[in-house]
């Protein structure tokens, strides 16, 4: 997308004082600074009131602040601020470009009641329907949002950065008397689990060490009192120091004085302090809670199972009793420090997200509704167009395949449908295929999968669903080991060549048949003709090659590329034409189709906007008069694996 599509100014809204020194608040402040350095006018503002379960002051503050922004303003809402206010987001979603910044779902917080957890889940799920897109701080959180019905294509990940240290500070030598200095940076809360660190250290009184707990002790006063009491009861007042919330200069000094860092958190959406510690050359002991399982799996970090106090004690004891092990980890951390992301990297990711989200509907709710409407409009034309010859050939192969199975494994054939949408492919195929069958439906849109499950239920076949965006990296994980048929409809022209190569290899490994139907083949005709038909067609085909979420899309070349890939794997491959022929009985579909073509063409060539809109006006008038015929070329592909079956 052109650079001009990025917003010139962005408003960030957070709850309370933006200068609070937690990881989430530091993320926003540093991101805003980096965006400003990159030429974007970004600003962060705090909202008064109680969050994340808002009181009246908080509700009024959010409503009034959003009301104050001009139409079209890009507003990034911190998850803590927006998760409890779906009705206010709905009110403003049609005139503002609302984006969510989610560190981790509110319901994932530790130490809340089950009633609160359910309230946070339902409220945040509803609130996320009214934003245009979601930025998460980790891939872990992006995956979690599938449970909130957020389409995968509406999520972009922007992991935190750090202020790079040119050279990690030399450690201030600790005295033999005091022993190694341990640092933990996190506000005091049950989720951060400082009480478990105190418990682990209590068992090592005989060893020399000193521990500093840095982080706000006012956010959860009850828990802070619990930690202080645990320290006192363990007799560790002189060895564990609580310094409260510190500013960035004081924090840098603490990093410089420490020998190693410990993060006992039960759950993190990312865990910025891991990066900050490594950037200072500090070795780290970290739990694997939440995103930490991935974000802390790196040189210089030793992991343990979140909540396992004995494992935490063992990791600390090893470094205290074996200085050579600590020194080795320190060297690894120093090397890793040179690979830590900068805030400029984060700002670049967020800028790319802004540009991407410009092309989406004004809310995720609208996105799913539009997708469902479009799929419903095209279903009858899809079913008319599909190659009966290839379908019957597949049916005969499956019958022979099923009959060839040993009696002891005579179970229904497994069919995987990729990009299921509303279930149109299953609704067409289930009655045609004369074998016992069970289906696994994969799609990135949870709302569409729910609709598909309801529609396919009448066919009385087992139909499981999984919300996922398949990628070359996760395809092996999500495709069953035993699958007889892999199928997809109107999909492969949207994916990249590496994606198709991975799919073909996965199919070959499983000896699965493949039926891939209704792939756009690069040509459409609208009758009667118009002087700008060729311009529109060329621009649409250019747009087909844009990144649809898996890299540069193959567009009309996809069926031929897949044919060649499967032929290399020894498959017998057939292609068949499956054109749409649309006329007066398909007015709704033709209208949506022409609008989509025009939008895509304008995105490719904004300077031709007026010319293309005139084309659309003319065509819509002809459509309303019943004078329009449209033919869209598609290809179906059937691939049968090598073997003894005919």
Q: How far is CA 222 from the centre of its chain?
A: 35
3-class DSSP state of 460: coil
Helices (DSSP H) in 234-387: which residue ranges? 248-257, 272-279, 292-295, 309-321, 323-336, 343-357, 364-385
**The two domains 181-340 and 364-520+552-580+632-640 share their CATH topology (first three levels equal):** yes
What's the whole-number mean pLDDT along residues 499-506?
96
Label residue 23 by pLDDT band (50, 70, 90).
confident
Report yes or no: 544 and 493 within 8 Å, Cβ to Cβ. yes
What's the whole-number mean pLDDT along residues 525-543?
95
CB atoms within 10 A of CB 315: 20
State what percent of residues in the chain have pLDDT above 90. 78
Position 1 scores a pLDDT of 35
What's the whole-number mean pLDDT along residues 239-256?
93
* Radius of gyration, CA atoms only, the chain: 29
Strand 9-15 to strand 463-467: parallel, antiparallel, or no bridges (unpaired)? unpaired
Give, in order, the Cα–Cα distances in Å from 591 to each of 507, 541, 645. Answer: 37, 19, 45
Position 3 scores a pLDDT of 45
Q: What is the Cα–Cα distance from 219 to 197, expressed in whole angstroms?
A: 19
E strand or H helix that includes residue 155: strand 155-157
Q: What is the Cα–Cα distance from 46 to 52, expressed in whole angstroms?
A: 13
Position 200 scores a pLDDT of 97
With a CB cutoff of 8 Å and minimum separation 6, the contacts of 222 are: none
Position 528 scores a pLDDT of 96
Which residues face 268 on adjacent strands? 290
What's the CATH superfamily of 364-520+552-580+632-640? Answer: Vaccinia Virus protein VP39 (3.40.50.150)
Position 36 scores a pLDDT of 95
Angle (deg, nearest 10), helices 364-385 and 424-432 = 30
Please provide the average confidence, as pLDDT, over all residues in the chain: 91
- Residue 172: pLDDT above 80? no
Give the residue among 629, 632, 504, 630 at the shortest CA–CA distance from 571.
504
pLDDT tens for 595-646 read 999 999 998 899 999 999 999 999 999 999 999 999 999 999 999 999 755 5
Domain boundaries, the chain: 3-161+344-357, 181-340, 364-520+552-580+632-640
Specify burial of residue 484 (Cβ count, 10 A radius: 0-12, 13-18, 19+).
buried
Q: What is the Cα–Cα distance from 11 to 43, expressed in whole angstroms?
A: 5
Position 439 scores a pLDDT of 97
Residue 360 has phi, psi (to 5 degrees) of -95, 165
DSSP string covering 175-209, please?
PTTT-PEEEEES-S-TTTTHHHHHHHHHTTTTS--
- Rounded (5°) CA angle 335-338-342: 150
Q: What is the Cα–Cα distance from 355 to 97, expressed in whole angstroms?
A: 12
3-161+344-357 has which CATH code?
3.40.50.2000
- Rounded (5°) CA angle 474-375-126: 70
Is the previous residue joined to 237 through a cis bond, with omega within 30 degrees of 0? no
Q: What is the Cα–Cα distance from 318 to 324, expressed in whole angstroms?
A: 10
pLDDT tens for 66-110 read 999 999 999 999 999 999 999 999 999 989 999 999 999 999 988
pLDDT tens for 414-453 read 999 999 999 999 999 999 999 999 999 999 888 889 899 9
Given the candidates 1.20.1280.50, 3.40.190.10, 3.40.50.2000, 3.40.50.300, the CATH classification of the domain at 181-340 is 3.40.50.2000
pLDDT tens for 176-220 read 557 999 999 999 999 999 999 999 999 999 999 999 999 999 989
């Amino acid at each position: 997308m052109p650079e001009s599509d990025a917003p010139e100014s962005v408003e960030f809204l957070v709850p309370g004082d933006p200068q609070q020194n937690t990881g989430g608040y530091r993320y926003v402040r540093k991101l805003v600074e980096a965006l400003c350095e990159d030429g974007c006018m970004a600003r962060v503002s705090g909202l008064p009131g109680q969050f994340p379960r808002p009181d009246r002051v908080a509700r009024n503050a959010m409503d009034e602040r959003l009301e104050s922004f001009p139409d079209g303003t890009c507003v990034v809402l911190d998850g803590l601020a927006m998760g409890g206010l779906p009705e206010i987001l709905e009110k403003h979603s049609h005139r503002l470009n609302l984006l969510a910044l989610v560190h981790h779902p509110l319901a994932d917080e530790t130490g809340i009641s089950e009633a609160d957890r359910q309230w946070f889940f339902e409220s945040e799920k509803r609130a996320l329907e009214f934003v245009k897109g979601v930025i998460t701080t980790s891939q872990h959180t992006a995956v979690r949002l599938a449970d909130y019905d957020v389409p995968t294509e509406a999520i972009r990940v922007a992991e935190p950065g750090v202020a790079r240290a040119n050279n990690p500070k030399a450690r201030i030598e600790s005295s033999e008397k005091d022993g190694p200095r341990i640092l933990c940076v996190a506000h005091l809360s049950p989720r951060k689990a400082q009480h478990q660190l105190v418990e682990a250290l209590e068992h090592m009184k005989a060893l020399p060490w000193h521990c500093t707990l840095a982080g706000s002790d006012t956010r959860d006063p009850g828990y802070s009192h619990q930690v202080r009491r645990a320290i006192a009861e363990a007799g560790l007042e002189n060895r564990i120091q609580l310094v409260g919330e510190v500013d960035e200069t004081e924090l840098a000094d603490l990093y410089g004085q420490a020998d190693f860092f410990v993060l006992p958190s039960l759950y993190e959406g990312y865990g910025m302090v891991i990066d900050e510690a490594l950037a200072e050359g500090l070795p780290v002991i970290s739990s694997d809670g939440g995103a930490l399982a991935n974000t802390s799996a790196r040189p210089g970090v030793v992991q343990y199972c979140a909540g396992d106090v004995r494992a935490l004690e063992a990791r600390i004891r090893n470094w205290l009793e074996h200085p050579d092990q600590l020194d080795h980890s320190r060297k690894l951390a120093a090397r890793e420090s040179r690979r830590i992301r900068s805030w400029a990297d984060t700002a670049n990711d967020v800028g790319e997200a802004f540009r991407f989200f410009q092309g989406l509907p004004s809310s995720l709710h609208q996105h799913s509704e539009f997708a469902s409407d479009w799929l419903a409009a095209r279903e009858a034309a899809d079913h008319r167009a599909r190659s009966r010859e290839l379908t019957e050939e597949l049916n005969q192969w499956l019958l022979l395949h099923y009959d060839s199975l040993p009696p002891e494994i005579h179970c229904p054939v497994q069919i995987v449908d990729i990009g299921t949408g509303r279930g149109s492919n299953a609704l067409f195929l289930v009655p045609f295929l004369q074998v016992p069958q069970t289906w696994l439906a994969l799609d990135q849109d949870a709302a569409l999968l729910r609709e598909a499950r309801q529609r396919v239920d009448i066919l009385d076949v087992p139909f499981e669903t999984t919300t996922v965006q398949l990628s070359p990296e996760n395809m092996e994980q999500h495709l069953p080991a035993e699958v007889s048929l892999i199928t997809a409809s109107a999909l492969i022209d949207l994916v990249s060549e590496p994606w198709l190569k991975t799919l073909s290899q996965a199919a070959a490994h499983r000896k699965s048949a493949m039926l891939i139907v209704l792939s756009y083949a690069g040509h459409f005709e609208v009758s009667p003709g118009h002087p700008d038909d060729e311009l529109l067609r060329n621009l649409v085909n250019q747009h087909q090659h844009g990144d649809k979420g898996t890299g540069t899309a193959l567009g009309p070349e996809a069926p031929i590329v897949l044919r060649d890939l499967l032929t290399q794997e020894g498959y017998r491959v057939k292609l068949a034409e499956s054109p749409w022929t649309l006329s007066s009985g398909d007015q709704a579909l033709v209208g949506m189709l022409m609008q989509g073509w025009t939008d895509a063409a304008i995105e490719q060539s904004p300077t031709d906007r007026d010319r293309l809109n005139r084309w659309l006006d003319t065509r819509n008038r002809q459509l309303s008069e019943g004078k329009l015929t449209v033919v869209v070329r598609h290809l179906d592909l059937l691939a049968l694996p090598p073997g003894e079956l005919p």
